[in-house]
Structure 1
Amino acid sequence: MLKLKTLLLIGFTALTIATSIETQAQTPTETHTLGQYEVKIPDWSKITWDNLPPVQQPGYLSIPPELIAKFGYDPSRSWSAGQKVDSVVMLGDVEDALKMSSLSLEDISAIVALDSKLTLKDLGLMQWQTPKTLVKAIPTLGNLDISQVPPIYDLFTQVAEGKRGLGERGKLGEIAQDNWPGAKSNRPNRNSTKIAASGNISQILESNPRAANTPLGKLDLSRYPIKSVPFLTQTQLARFLGWQQSYINQVPGLNKVPFDKMPQPINTGFNVIGIASLVLGKAENGDTTVGSNYFISGSINRSSATVPVACESRKECSYMELGDLAGQQGELYGKRWASGSSQKVKGGFGLLGKVNGGREPTGRLVYGSAFKVVLTGVNESKGTADFGLFFRICANIPFQGKTCTPYFIGPVPWMPVSENELVILGTQ
């Protein structure tokens, strides 16, 4: 069991949300009619990681070595205001929500066009793969002759050269002889060029652990076409070591896959809709007579459900008051969505739950657990409410399960709402 002192070594950023986001989201939308109202809902067939607005606030996460060992990879990162979301969010953060690791490059190419000149450098996770982990991810590689996989051949050559200082054509031969079948007396001369260009990859890996465990990033991966590793494009991302720490933009084409084409498509959130009746600004305070049953905003529990949280008594509490399409008898009538600029609530769970002081802006899971929708500020004089998306960092610890930070990466500008317009609340 890790001590609390260790947990406090995890870095966090202080979270401040502007009451108004100047660059409003230009979100592709569809218009639907509900009675006398029209509602604009996100057009998920046109929304991708690539066209989401940038993150508005900087931040970082620094994981101590003892936790990195538990995770099996390093989820540490930092980001700047104005940085694109696809360069901040890693695959492991949203795995439960979207299942992107089940995709292969071939799957992605069936949805969006990929550059025909892709190299191994374009697939970011290749830099920390080794010949050993590559064969584990793509078992068929092990049966091939090493000359059929140029990156592995060249890596073994490079390691051999550094270890034994062999000549240009004899350097792999020195390594390959270690696994050459037959008695020593039957082995070819160690300077043979034939042996340098042949050998079963699995056998060579077993006999040469140093080269087998050397990262491919030691090579200039931009020199190798993506198809220089046979079967690579047909292999699911989840089969590669440390796929979780790959940023979304490090997988060719993935940031251009629409959210409705994900292996687990985005939740449309269209089940529950309310009316934005009134927005009230910073002059409003929490009231002991207005309990959590009056609120639809709050924290997110381990089961990815929104748990309503009331504003603290006598503390600032700007909010949006809702109406119900069914009138005063409706369940949403008079309910409040508090602003994340006024209220911070408990967030996260497990080892990463201490990040950002264990707090996140109040809000709702409207479209599933990939991000939290937060009311970032209201303009009472104009009768408008601004929204933003917040993301979190998640990891799975072997034998312990999932752990997540609070939703503290953001805000990413989202669809604003005006009084007397409909607002999407999710499926709860």
Structure 2
Amino acid sequence: MQWLKKCFPAIVLGVCLNLACWGTPALAQTFDQEFNLNDQGLTSIDFSQISFSNLGKVTAGGKITSDAVSGLTASRQWKAGDALSSVLRLGDVPSLGAGQFSLEQIGRIVGFAPEQVQLSQFKLLTSQPLPQLIESIPYLKNFPVGEVAPIAALVNAESSDPRTVATVVNQPNMAKRSLADLGDRLKTFNLSDLPNADATPLLSLRGWQQQSFADIPGLSQVPLTQMPQPVPNDSPIVAQIKSMGTSSVISRTVTGSSQIGFHLSCPDRNSIVSQSCMGVALADSGDPHTDQKPSRRQAQNQPRLSGKQWVLGSSQSVPGGNGALQFLPSSLGLDPGYEPTGRHPFGAAFKQVLTRIDGQTVSSALVFRTCVRESCSPYNQFAVPFLRYPMGSLIVVGADSETPVDSANLPVLPQTTTSYENVNPGRCMGESVGGISVSTLMSAIVAVDSDPFKPTSIGLFVCRDGQCGRFLGQYQLPSNTEAVQSAIASKPGGKDWLQAIASGRKPKPAELLQFFPPELQTQVLTDNTQSLLKLAQTQSDPQAGTTWQDNRLIERVAQLSAGGTATAIDSNTVIGINGLTLQQYGQQARLNYEAQGGGVGLKCSVDDLRAQSMAQVPAAQIAATLSRLGKFTTASSPGKGKESAAWAINQVLSQAGIRPLGEHPNYIPSIESALRNGRGATVDDPDQAEAGDLVIAASGRHIGICLDEGCQTVRSNNGTLKSFGWDSSRDFDGKLNGSTIYRITQP
């Protein structure tokens, strides 16, 4: 509490003479002018106009020393007046998800093209050891080294050199080389000289969390509302500042910390108080004693705040932080393990703290922490001055919890390139038929069914056009369609078994495994989807008067898949699944395809390209695919979004060109069994975990995907929001202990 003792007398006088104190007049004045605050204060600030580059300068100097035990791999130091963007590192604000960005996406937001970025400006990329670099950037290793100018310059290769990049880089003497070895020559190359580097997510590059926002070209200029997980721009929960002053006891508060809650009295045995308690008394924004009236939305969501106080952080510090960094020394001079009391009205990236009362105005600051892996210090490392609030103005209080923003309100990130550049696309065209992604369409058709099925599931008995059969297996494929009959008839005794089913006999599950095993079911669905796409393209769509295309092609293929190749167009025949007609079945499949991120007009889909050349590094492939997909709805899944964790994982794998995991792909224990029996390996040391590894909670209770090195952040399904959009710690925010990390080894 040394910093409080030094600053407290000056704060009472409305002046802070020590540079270590927050809100020094010079910096506060500069900040206020930057944001053009009016004399009445603001209910909220427009974060769509604010980035880390214009959030100001830190108020005090400090340093963080490397510590192998806590995971701090590098020391850093800063001084008062340094730009926040040069002090703040990507790993310090995991709630923003900055690692999901590629430079192409950043450029589309702030306005630059890849050829405008010199390689010398992107040190994270150029410092990567070459063997690591060519695995991180899709397909780079496939190119002739002479066509990749920066690498050719490094190894003195001629432009006509036919050797692949992989052949050159995988030599023993290249293990420690990096593009940084080019020195000043890096300035002669730009990002477009490295194929696909602009579309590579930051989290694919080792050490990305230790980069400052200023280190990544353009990132510090991205508005905070356009981050992958944005700062909320508004909150319906506001209060009016009624009075401000000092008291020996403040019992009803709205302040505290995430660790101890946000209604901590001052003083409290769990906190440290400097002399008296200083606070700002609040009134409801719709209180009859105030002049401010709430909007209808505010009135509906507004808790009762009258009579409560927001305690100044200069008066009280409270417990904060977690893990190995919880007791990291504070660069602001607070006791280890403590942070100034305050709130998180704008999310977990920073904490808003009231810092001093100056006459009839109270000043505030945004205080930051540092994080490594899943451990974070308290919010006590560095701060920037924030808003000043005159008496009677409104202040955003926000909710007590730091619940992530509803995925429905997340920004849509600029899509990365539709297809990576690749010198040998191989079978790409065969898996993207008619501009439709085969793997996504398969998943969309399967998801029409409301309930998940097992490979041994025996479905309804149906007859169409004089042919009878049953829906069979995990995809409920009808046995009276040509594709299924052909596959089963190839098995010894298969024809007789089909005839018995057609006559009305219900087969036993063991028979299904004999004549129509799971791998054959998947192969039939894949082959059938491809052939139906090709068939439909030769037919005419009566609505459009042309061949089947785009969304109508998706609908028609789904109809043909469910009803057979002789199915009438947009038929009203009920096919027995969910009571849908064939027309409705096709429409639902199209909606599912769109919900799963499927596109139309694809020529060489990212999914299929990745399946070929990234198969040796499935974790990187999964990470890149998830970055492209972002947070997606799981409402169209068999579990309707509530019990869809396993389904969502296999959707990501499918999009990444990786075979589904598990005999029962919608069942977590089945996925874990597959990983333990040949498809994967455990990662015993969490520090060795990579983005794209899988995390499974004890007893198969939940499953997610690592978003970064060390698996500090995990994304998984949120059953309440029906979205694959819950970003948590490795142990799912402590709700599910005993998690195991797996790495897929057999894609």
Instruction: Check conservation: 2:89, 2:210, Cα contact below 8 A.
Output: yes
Q: After TM superposition, list the pairs within 5 Å mapping 1:357-396 onto structure 2.
A: 357-379=336-358, 382-396=359-373
Among 12, 15, 23, the residue aligned to 2:27: 23
Among 374, 377, 382, the residue aligned to 1:405: 377
1:244 and 2:244 aligned:
no
Q: Could you say which structure has the greater relative contact order, defined with CA pairs below 8 angstroms and 6 or more residues apart?
A: 1
Match of residue 161 from structure 1: none
1:278 and 2:243 aligned:
yes
Instruction: Check conservation: 1:260, 1:266, Cα contact below 8 A.
Output: yes
User: Secondary structure of the residue that 1:56 maps to in structure 2?
Assistant: coil
Q: CA separation in 1, counterparts of 2:56 and 2:174?
A: 43
Match of residue 63 from structure 2: 60
Q: After TM superposition, list the pairs within 5 Å mapping 1:9-408 onto structure 2.
A: 17-18=21-22, 21-24=25-28, 25-26=31-32, 28=35, 39-68=42-71, 74=73, 76-95=75-94, 97-114=95-112, 116-157=115-156, 197-206=161-170, 208-220=171-183, 221-281=186-246, 284-285=247-248, 287=249, 290-291=250-251, 294-301=252-259, 306-312=261-267, 315-327=275-287, 331-355=304-328, 356=330, 357-379=336-358, 382-396=359-373, 402-408=374-380
Q: CA separation in 2, counterparts of 1:89 and 1:76?
A: 13
Which amino acid in structure 1 is aligned with residue 166 of structure 2?
S
> How much has 1:223 moved relative to structure 2?
3.2
Q: CA separation in 1, counterparts of 2:350 and 2:177?
A: 37
Deviations 1:142-198 (CA, angstroms, capped at 9, x unpaired): 1111122232233345xxxxxxxxxxxxxx6xxxxxxxxxxxxxxxxxxxx79x933
Instruction: Check conservation: 1:30, 1:42, Cα contact below 8 A.
Output: no
Change (3 A) 1:419 1:119: same
* Number of residue pairs aligned between Structure 1 and Structure 2: 353
> How much has 1:75 moved relative to structure 2?
5.1
> How much has 1:210 moved relative to structure 2?
3.2
Q: CA separation in 1, counterparts of 2:35 and 2:283?
A: 25
> How much has 1:274 moved relative to structure 2?
0.6
User: Secondary structure of the residue that 2:173 maps to in structure 1?
Assistant: helix
> How much has 1:269 moved relative to structure 2?
4.4
Change (3 A) 1:316 1:209: farther
Which amino acid in structure 2 is aligned with residue 415 of structure 1?
L
> How much has 1:408 moved relative to structure 2?
1.7
Instruction: Check conservation: 1:131, 1:215, Cα contact below 8 A.
Output: yes
Instruction: Check conservation: 1:44, 1:259, Cα contact below 8 A.
Output: yes
Which consecutive unaligned segments of at least 5 residues does structure 1 have? 1-12, 32-36, 158-171, 173-192, 397-401
> How much has 1:124 moved relative to structure 2?
2.5
> How much has 1:14 moved relative to structure 2?
6.3
Instruction: Check conservation: 2:22, 2:384, Cα contact below 8 A.
Output: no
Change (3 A) 1:39 1:389: closer
Which consecutive unaligned segments of at least 5 residues does structure 2 have? 5-19, 290-302, 331-335, 401-747
Q: CA separation in 1, counterparts of 2:165 and 2:263?
A: 57
Percent identity, aligned pairs only? 29
Which amino acid in structure 2 is aligned with residue 385 of structure 1?
V
User: Secondary structure of the residue that 2:27 maps to in structure 1?
Assistant: coil
> How much has 1:117 moved relative to structure 2?
3.5
Deviations 1:209-232 (CA, angstroms, capped at 9, x unpaired): 331332332221323222221111
Instruction: Check conservation: 1:124, 1:246, Cα contact below 8 A.
Output: no
Instruction: Check conservation: 1:101, 1:243, Cα contact below 8 A.
Output: yes
Instruction: Check conservation: 2:3, 2:21, Cα contact below 8 A.
Output: no
Q: CA separation in 2, counterparts of 1:30 and 1:44?
A: 14
Change (3 A) 1:225 1:310: same
Deviations 1:88-108 (CA, angstroms, capped at 9, x unpaired): 11111112x211111111111
Which amino acid in structure 2 is aligned with residue 299 of structure 1?
S
Which amino acid in structure 2 is aligned with residue 410 of structure 1?
F
Instruction: Check conservation: 2:281, 2:307, Cα contact below 8 A.
Output: yes
Which amino acid in structure 2 is aligned with residue 317 of structure 1?
C
Which amino acid in structure 2 is aligned with residue 151 of structure 1?
P
Deviations 1:79-137 (CA, angstroms, capped at 9, x unpaired): 11001111011111112x21111111111121112275421111131242111111111
